[in-house]
Amino acid sequence: MRYYRKRVELFRLIDKIKLWPSRTGLLHGIRSIEKMGQVARITTHCNKTFLVNNSRNSRAARWLRNKWFAGACPECRVPDWKMAKYSSTQFRRHHGSDLMEGRSTDTSPSGTPPGTSR
């Protein structure tokens, strides 16, 4: 089970989970994110492109935190393992990763980042 802070910035959150909730309730897989200051251009796997603002209170941020979605986009073909991982993720106010850049949040059981040796 993964824990993330509840009030992280939207760009950090979608950078990590690579999912976008549409207004119709479908979860789209994100192909690329091009950041331009406080605005980003998101391209999904079904070739939809749109601009979003970096907001903690936006509809998308709330829907991702509260896991409000009707299903996955059939064109994006979001894998089952990603949906299961997203469903098991919990957002807590005072506990979990704050998704800061430059820090690795994934470590192996030995405590070292994957791909490195002692």
Q: Where are the domains of the chain?
A: 3-87
The torsion angles phi and psi of 7, rounded to 5 degrees, stand at -110, 45
Check residue 8 and give its pLDDT: 77
Instruction: Return the H-helix or E-strand segment holding 35.
Output: strand 26-36
Radius of gyration of the chain (CA): 15
Residues 4, 91 contacting (CB under 8 angstroms)? yes
Q: Band of the pLDDT at 100, cuts 50, 70, 90?
A: low
Return the pLDDT at 108: 39
pLDDT tens digits along 27-61: 999 999 999 999 999 999 999 999 999 988 899 98
Number of residues in the chain: 118
Place 6 in a pLDDT band, splitting at 50, 70 and 90: low
Is residue 97 predicted with pLDDT exceeding 80? no
pLDDT of residue 34: 95
Asked if the model's pLDDT at residue 91 lies above 80, the reply is no
Judge whether residue 74 has pLDDT over 90.
yes
Give percent of the chain with pLDDT exceeding 70: 71
The pLDDT of residue 81 is 92
CA angle 49–33–23, rounded 5-degree value: 50
pLDDT band at 109 (very low <50, low <70, confident <90, very high): very low
Place of tokens 């749109």: 50
CA distance 115 to 97: 21
Determine if residue 104 is left, alpha or beta; phi over 0 gives left, psi from -120 to 50 gives alpha, anything else beta: beta
**H-type alpha helices, the chain:** 10-17, 59-66, 80-88
